[in-house]
């Protein structure tokens, strides 16, 4: 089939729009003063690189172990209340890691935290508790708020795994443990590498949590550079390296994925038999409950208690309800419309790209599709830096409006929309579109009357994902927001970093609640929740 | 390599899409902009937006905004609070396309270095003649508002009178290891203290002090509220804060005390800095901005800073809040503001060099 030039041009423009901030950062980094490079190489870069890679490694490992083992418990064992635990284990996706960090800091802060104080009162003396700050604290918090990515992907993989695969291994004399490591886990590999990549890229982009826990990575160092000394070139250099690192991750995942193929015959699929936990039932229950508590129950309960405290204290209540002349309602409204608009734009822009990539698969369309997914590799701080420099120069009328924040969301979360639209289109047989053309509809009519209505659920899913992640976005919003444009995430951050946790709680609670709705919709689409 | 034109065209395409989708919102956000009333200066007739970039944390600035709004009900105050340097960066970035009307900061170095770069426009608020001349910028480019002193807060349950530190240099003593809280390198008050010390003592001695703090396992928080609360709760024995954080913590019922350090002969004296405000060059809402700056300098505005925040008002004749020790009781550090602000960048170099969290 011949690609219509209109489609090619629109998809190309979308790719261009997505690629510009990235290219601009590389140009700025390469064009930075050699002295800046030298100063940074001597003082910062190696330490930041070490810190960042170490954290990525530890959290990815932690998330893999937690995610896979939780998936095993809920999909492959006779753990009680599995259905409920599936939901509880996935719901932490609605909680931004920095909110988790705020809560766990309040719990665990040496001497002042609820846990150390409780222990001190109980035993009448100070009891040593591990500090939530630094590397181990960051690993702990981030692991427990990022494992759901791995959990969902590996639960789906466990679910779709053919029973006969493991049965064959057992017949050939492998014991259950050998089967797990030699057959089951390798078969899960595509899901696991995808999950690990998501986690690793998120760690590179993470700002709020590492800043709160005082562990310096590239992202937090860039943020400090941007809000510290009066020059942009150090920040550009660090950003260039960070984006390079992210692209390296993306590329290596592609390589890893490329080597392995697991095909299964769908027709006679039946679920594998459940592992009987036996006397391990209770301990297993405690382990799963522990994970759910740390990542969901404790944050939710603490935020609820704080929110009630805030609502009962008239003085705090007054403070919550206005900043400048803006009120709580405006924070909610700003969060909703900016994330909603970003979702709408991202999905709209993803359609030509997906059409091109799915209906006309060739090298060029693959490249365009890949370019549209680089947003994964550009952390929020870098997008902010890039947009500040670009928009101020070329589109000054956009600067200082909330639309620049929306633009950052679109750029950053575009990949999610592209991937959803592509997978929705893949499931739609082109014969329907061809029939429509044969019956005299133009290509545009076909798109609006046939294609779009049929892939709408997929588009909605992509939109929900963009909406959900935009709601939680912090660093780009902080750096780009115009005065008076506060979102829930900004409010939570501003109050919490000022030390007013109780005041921040209602906004955090509302933010999590709003995030939970699209998440619920998304999870309902997952096989394991059907 | 993409040419400028290329970039421009593609961004424009997006802008069109974006404005098509979000047009109505953008209009309502933007075009509420002030319709300048030419007639009279009656308070009710000043209306429209007022965009404030504030380096002061919101809780300390909101009371004065509220009082202003009560007086000028038609002004819509849009507040963006952040660190001094973050907002200063934004102001520099926006020089050709100014977004803010007023900049408020917690120390003088940032505002002075921005004034030198031509970011502000001159304005003499009503009554500025009653503010000490040293706290008004050259050419009236900025106006000082209040003073604050860098002091040591301590928990009286944990520290006895005879072991109290008397100098900020005592904080590097081994006996305080792990017992001190302070604000970190992103905090304006801390940055200004470092810049002041660099001028008083030189880079080496300042670096040595900072390294001493780091070696002493000082816990650095993002802001001073965390510091005062941690000391009040007994998590730390002592903390390095601005003087009013001691009073704020005392009001919350904690058993805390305060030390105004470095008063002995040969010591550097009490480090003091001023909060200040300036009108941005190209401010879009000049009338409301001038009214607001007038209000900040007026007895009414100054009283709010003194009463609610326990600060030292710069306007002559405004009384201190009961319990606040007059600055006249102390020997102040002799910092040359203009020189220190010219070298402010060196403070960031030093912060980076010692790796202050």
Confidence of residue A229 (pLDDT cuts 50, 70, 90): low
Find tokens 């365009």 and name the residue.
A368
What integer pLDDT is reported at residue B31 of this predicted model? Answer: 37
Give residue limits of the domains in chain A: 1-28+313-530
Q: Shortest Cα distance from B325 to chain A (angstroms)?
A: 26
Q: Shortest Cα distance from B225 to chain A (angstroms)?
A: 6
Q: Is A364 exposed, middle or buried (0-12, 13-18, 19+ CB in 10 A)?
A: middle
The least confident of A357-371, B18-32, B70-84, B106-120 is B18-32
CA B213 to CA A272: how far, in whole Å?
A: 60
Q: Does the beta-carbon distance from B7 to A20 stay under 8 Å?
A: yes
Q: Dump pLDDT digits (tens) for A44-77.
A: 788 889 999 999 999 999 999 999 999 999 988 8
3-state secondary structure of A181: helix
- Name the architecture of domain A1-28+313-530: Orthogonal Bundle (1.10)
Q: Does the beta-carbon distance from A112 to B221 stay under 8 Å?
A: no
What integer pLDDT is reported at residue A259 of this predicted model? Answer: 55
Domains of chain B are: 39-147+273-320 (3.40.190.10), 149-272+330-354 (3.40.190.10)
B83 touches chain A (CB under 8 A): yes
Q: Which two tokens stand for residue A265?
A: 């015959």
Closest partner CB to B79 (pick from A337, A395, A484) = A484
Closest partner CB to B235 (pick from A111, A481, A494) = A111
Q: Shortest Cα distance from A177 to chain B (angstroms)?
A: 46
Q: Distances from the Cα of B156 to the Cαs of A18, B17, B165, B234, B258, in angstroms?
A: 58, 62, 13, 9, 9
Work out whether strand B48-54 and strand B75-81 pair parallel, antiparallel, or are unpaired: parallel
Complex ipTM > 0.85: no
B63 touches chain A (CB under 8 A): no
- The mean pLDDT of chain A is 87
Q: Dump pLDDT digits (tens) for B157-206.
A: 999 989 999 999 999 999 999 999 999 888 888 999 999 999 999 999 99
Q: Does the beta-carbon distance from B221 to A499 stay under 8 Å?
A: yes
Strands (DSSP E) found in B26-179: 48-54, 75-81, 102-105, 120-121, 143-155
CA A128 to CA A463: how far, in whole Å?
A: 46
User: What's the pTM?
Assistant: 0.86
Question: How many of the other CB atoms lie within 10 Å of CB of B140?
Answer: 17
CA A491 to CA A310: how far, in whole Å?
A: 14
C-beta separation of B106 from B123 below 8 A: no
Longest dimension (CA), chain B: 71
Q: Distances from the Cα of A96 to the Cαs of A53, A58, A288, A434, B215, in angstroms?
A: 21, 19, 21, 44, 33
3-state secondary structure of B200: helix
Q: Which long-range contacts (CB under 8 A, 24 or more apart) does A312-315 make?
A: A313/A502
Search chain B and give the residue with CA nearest A493. B82
Q: Does the beta-carbon distance from B62 to A319 stay under 8 Å?
A: yes
Question: How many of the other CB atoms lie within 10 Å of CB of A203?
Answer: 28
What integer pLDDT is reported at residue B27 of this predicted model? Answer: 33
CA B43 to CA B223: how far, in whole Å?
A: 36
Residue range B199-215: mean pLDDT, rounded: 94
B252 touches chain A (CB under 8 A): no
Closest partner CB to A483 (pick from B79, B85, B89) = B79
Work out whether strand B219-221 and strand B143-155 pair parallel, antiparallel, or are unpaired: unpaired
Regarding predicted confidence, which is higher, A161 or B173?
A: B173
Q: How many CB pairs under 8 A join A and B?
A: 170
State the best of B3, B9, B13, B25 to mutate against chain A, taking most chain A CBs within 10 Å.
Answer: B25
Q: Which residues of A touch B30 (CB under 8 A)?
A: 401
- The mean pLDDT of chain B is 86
Q: Shortest Cα distance from A324 to chain B (angstroms)?
A: 5
Question: How many of the other CB atoms lie within 10 Å of CB of A104?
Answer: 26
DSSP state of A312: H
Per-position b or e across A128-165, b if 16+ CB within 10 A of its CB: ebeebbeeebbbbbbbbbbbbbbbbbbbbbbbbbbeee
Residue range B200-223: mean pLDDT, rounded: 92
What integer pLDDT is reported at residue A86 of this predicted model? Answer: 93
Q: Dump pLDDT digits (tens) for A277-309.
A: 888 889 999 999 999 999 999 999 999 999 999
Search chain B and give the residue with CA nearest A397. B97
pLDDT over 70 (residue B16): no
Q: Does the beta-carbon distance from B94 to A394 stay under 8 Å?
A: no
Q: Dump pLDDT digits (tens) for B46-105.
A: 888 999 999 998 888 989 999 999 999 999 999 998 888 889 988 988 888 899 999 999
Q: Does the beta-carbon distance from B2 to A395 stay under 8 Å?
A: no
Q: Dump pLDDT digits (tens) for A86-103.
A: 999 999 999 999 999 999
CA A146 to CA A148: how far, in whole Å?
A: 5
Q: Does the beta-carbon distance from A341 to B26 stay under 8 Å?
A: no
Q: Which residues of A touch B19 (CB under 8 A)?
A: 403
Q: Does the beta-carbon distance from B18 to A23 stay under 8 Å?
A: no
Q: Dump pLDDT digits (tens) for A7-55.
A: 899 999 999 988 888 888 888 888 888 887 887 777 778 888 999 999 9
Search chain B and give the residue with CA nearest A389. B93
Q: Does the beta-carbon distance from B14 to A17 stay under 8 Å?
A: yes
Residue range A512-527: mean pLDDT, rounded: 90
Nearest partner of A336 among A388, A397, A409, A391, judged by Cα: A409
Q: Shortest Cα distance from B235 to chain A (angstroms)?
A: 5
Dihedral sign from CA coordinates of B77, B82, B85, B90? negative
Q: Which residues of B touch A230 (CB under 8 A)?
A: 85, 88-89, 92, 345
Q: Does the beta-carbon distance from B80 to A484 stay under 8 Å?
A: yes
Closest partner CB to A395 (pick from B11, B82, B89) = B11
Phi, psi (rounded to 5 degrees) for B268? -75, -15
Contact residues for A300 (Cβ-Cβ < 8 A; gap 6+): A512
Q: Which residues of A touch B222 (CB under 8 A)?
A: 211-212, 497-499
Closest partner CB to A226 (pick from B30, B52, B89) = B89
Residue range A389-396: mean pLDDT, rounded: 85
Nearest partner of B257 among B184, B163, B331, judged by Cα: B163
Search chain A and give the residue with CA nearest B61. A324
Q: Does the beta-carbon distance from A499 to B2 stay under 8 Å?
A: no
CA A418 to CA A18: how far, in whole Å?
A: 12
Q: Shortest Cα distance from B89 to chain A (angstroms)?
A: 6
Phi, psi (rounded to 5 degrees) for B261? -85, 170
State the best of A320, A324, A387 to mutate against chain B, taking most chain B CBs within 10 Å.
Answer: A324
Search chain B and give the residue with CA nearest A110. B235
């Amino acid at each position: 089939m011949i690609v219509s030039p209109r489609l090619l041009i629109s998809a190309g423009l979308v790719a261009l729009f997505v690629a510009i901030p990235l290219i601009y950062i590389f140009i700025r980094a390469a064009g930075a003063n050699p002295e800046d490079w030298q100063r940074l190489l001597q003082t910062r870069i190696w330490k930041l690189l070490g810190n960042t890679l170490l954290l990525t490694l530890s959290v990815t490992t932690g998330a893999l172990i937690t995610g896979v083992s939780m998936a095993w418990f809920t999909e492959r064992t006779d753990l009680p209340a599995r259905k409920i635990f599936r939901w509880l284990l996935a719901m932490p996706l609605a909680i931004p890691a920095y909110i988790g960090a705020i809560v766990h800091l309040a719990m665990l802060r040496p001497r002042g935290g609820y846990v150390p104080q409780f222990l001190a009162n109980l035993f009448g003396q100070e009891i040593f508790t591990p500090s939530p700050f630094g590397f181990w604290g960051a690993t702990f918090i981030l692991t427990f708020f990022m494992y759901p990515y791995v959990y969902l992907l590996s639960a789906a993989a466990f679910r779709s795994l053919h029973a006969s695969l493991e049965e064959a291994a057992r017949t050939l004399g492998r014991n259950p443990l050998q089967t797990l490591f030699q057959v089951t886990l390798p078969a899960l590999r595509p899901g696991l590498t995808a999950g690990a990549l998501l986690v690793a890229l998120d760690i590179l982009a993470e700002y709020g949590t590492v800043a709160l826990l005082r562990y310096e990575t590239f992202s937090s160092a860039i943020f400090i550079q941007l809000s510290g000394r009066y020059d942009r070139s150090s920040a550009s250099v660090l950003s260039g390296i960070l984006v390079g690192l992210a692209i390296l991750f993306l590329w290596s995942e592609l390589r890893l994925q490329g080597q392995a193929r697991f095909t299964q015959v769908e027709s006679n699929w039946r679920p594998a038999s459940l592992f009987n936990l036996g006397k391990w039932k209770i301990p297993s229950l405690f382990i799963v409950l522990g994970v759910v508590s740390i990542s969901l129950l404790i944050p939710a309960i603490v935020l609820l208690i704080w929110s009630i405290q805030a609502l009962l204290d008239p003085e705090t209540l007054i403070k919550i309800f206005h900043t400048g002349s803006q009120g709580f309602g405006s924070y909610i409204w700003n969060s909703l419309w900016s994330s909603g608009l970003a979702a709408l734009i991202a999905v709209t822009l993803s359609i030509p790209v997906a059409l091109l990539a799915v209906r006309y698969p060739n090298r060029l369309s693959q490249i365009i599709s890949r370019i549209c997914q680089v947003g994964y590799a550009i952390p929020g701080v870098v997008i902010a830096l890039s947009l500040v420099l670009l928009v101020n120069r070329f589109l000054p009328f956009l600067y200082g409006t909330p639309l620049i924040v929306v633009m950052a969301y679109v750029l950053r979360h575009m990949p999610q929309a592209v991937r959803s639209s592509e997978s929705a289109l893949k499931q739609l047989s082109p014969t329907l579109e061809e029939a429509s053309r044969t019956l005299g509809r133009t290509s545009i009519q076909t798109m609006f009357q046939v294609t779009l209505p049929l892939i709408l659920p997929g588009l909605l899913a992509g939109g929900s994902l963009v909406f959900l992640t935009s709601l939680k976005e912090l660093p780009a919003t902080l750096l780009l927001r115009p005065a008076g444009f506060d979102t829930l995430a900004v409010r939570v951050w501003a109050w919490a970093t000022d030390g007013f946790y109780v005041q921040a709680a209602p906004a955090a609670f509302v933010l999590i609640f709003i995030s939970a709705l699209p998440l619920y919709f998304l999870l309902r689409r997952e096989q394991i929740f059907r | 390599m993409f040419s400028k034109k290329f970039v421009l065209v593609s961004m424009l395409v997006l802008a069109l899409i974006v404005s098509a989708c979000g047009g109505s919102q953008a209009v309502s956000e933007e075009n509420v902009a002030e319709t300048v009333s030419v007639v009279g200066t009656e308070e009710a007739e000043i209306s429209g937006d007022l965009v404030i970039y504030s380096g002061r944390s919101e809780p300390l600035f909101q009371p004065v905004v509220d009082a202003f709004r009560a007086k000028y009900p038609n002004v819509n105050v849009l507040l963006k609070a952040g660190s001094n340097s973050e907002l200063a960066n934004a102001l520099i970035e926006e020089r050709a396309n100014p977004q803010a009307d007023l900049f408020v900061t917690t120390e003088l170095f940032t505002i002075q270095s921005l004034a030198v770069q031509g970011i502000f426009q001159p304005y003499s608020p009503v009554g500025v003649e009653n503010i000490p001349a040293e706290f008004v910028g050259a050419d009236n480019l900025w106006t000082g508002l209040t003073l604050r002193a860098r002091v040591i807060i301590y928990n009286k349950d944990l520290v006895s009178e005879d072991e109290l530190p008397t100098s900020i240099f005592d904080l590097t003593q081994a006996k305080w290891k792990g017992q001190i809280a302070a604000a970190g390198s992103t905090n304006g008050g801390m940055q200004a203290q470092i810049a002041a010390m660099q001028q008083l003592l030189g880079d080496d001695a300042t670096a040595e002090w900072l390294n001493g703090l780091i070696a002493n396992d000082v816990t650095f928080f993002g802001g001073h509220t965390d510091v005062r609360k941690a000391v009040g709760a007994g998590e730390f024995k002592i903390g390095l804060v601005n003087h009013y954080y001691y009073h704020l913590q005392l009001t919350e019922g904690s058993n805390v005390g305060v030390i105004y350090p470095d008063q002995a002969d040969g010591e550097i004296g009490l480090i003091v800095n001023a909060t200040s405000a300036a009108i941005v060059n190209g401010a879009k809402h000049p009338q409301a901005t001038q009214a607001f700056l007038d209000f900040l300098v007026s007895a009414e505005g100054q009283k709010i800073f003194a009463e609610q925040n326990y600060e030292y008002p710069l306007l002559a004749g405004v009384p201190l809040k009961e319990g606040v020790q007059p600055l006249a009781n102390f020997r102040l550090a002799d910092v040359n503001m203009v020189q220190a602000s010219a070298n402010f960048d060196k403070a960031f170099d030093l912060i980076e060099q010692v790796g202050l969290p």
